[in-house]
Amino acid sequence: MQKDSDYGLLNTQEDPRFGGRPYGRFGTVAKNGCGMIALYNIMRASDSTTRFEPFYDARKSIKTNLFGLMGTRSSSVPKNLAKKDYQVTRIKPKQAGEAKPFDGVIVLYWFFFGAHYVAGIANGDGTYTWYNQFQNPHSMKLTDFLAHIRKKKEHVYRIWGVTFPKK
């Protein structure tokens, strides 16, 4: 496989090019890699030279729960972004409507049998394009996205607003 493949922003962790690859000791990207995909999408959106293959090769810096069976540790998200000079702001779900615009956001929500990370990339008009949530990337405000999650009887656990590093 070519190591400099440019996959662009990723809308599914189940992509056959990498979905079957290991994530943690016992997980796979397809089953448990949503946190890694959200981190990648934020970094890719901020820097078009970011490529998935080198990002995946460096995945050991992203800490997992239960050796990958339970996906990415929530504490690993802001730590990995801060290491690369991203400014990360935790947003409380009830204050999402008052949050300043960010370059991107990562939302972690939980449901009966698990949890899921989703990245939203700012469009510059108060909306974000959401990846790894809908069949196709979908644009909406953060508050509308959270309402979508709640409507499905899922529960927002963490929201991080991300400001890209200055170049």
Q: Is 65 exposed, middle or buried (0-12, 13-18, 19+ CB in 10 A)?
A: middle
What per-residue confidence (pLDDT) applies to 14? 94
The kind and range of the H/E element at 30 are helix 29-32
pLDDT tens digits, 15-70: 999 999 998 877 899 989 999 999 999 999 999 899 988 888 887 777 665 544 56
* Residues 77 and 41: beta-carbon distance below 8 Å: no
Predicted TM-score (pTM) of the model is 0.91
Q: Where are the domains of the chain?
A: 22-163
pLDDT tens digits, 116-164: 999 999 999 999 999 999 999 999 999 999 999 999 999 999 999 999 9
Q: How far apart are the first and last CA of the chain?
A: 31
CA distance 120 to 140: 9
Residues 6+ apart with CB under 8 A from 91: 99, 105, 159, 160, 161
What per-residue confidence (pLDDT) applies to 64? 64
| CATH of span 22-163 | 3.90.70.10
pLDDT tens digits, 101-125: 999 999 999 988 788 999 999 999 9
CA distance 123 to 115: 26
Please name the amino acid found at residue 123. Answer: N
CA distance 163 to 95: 18
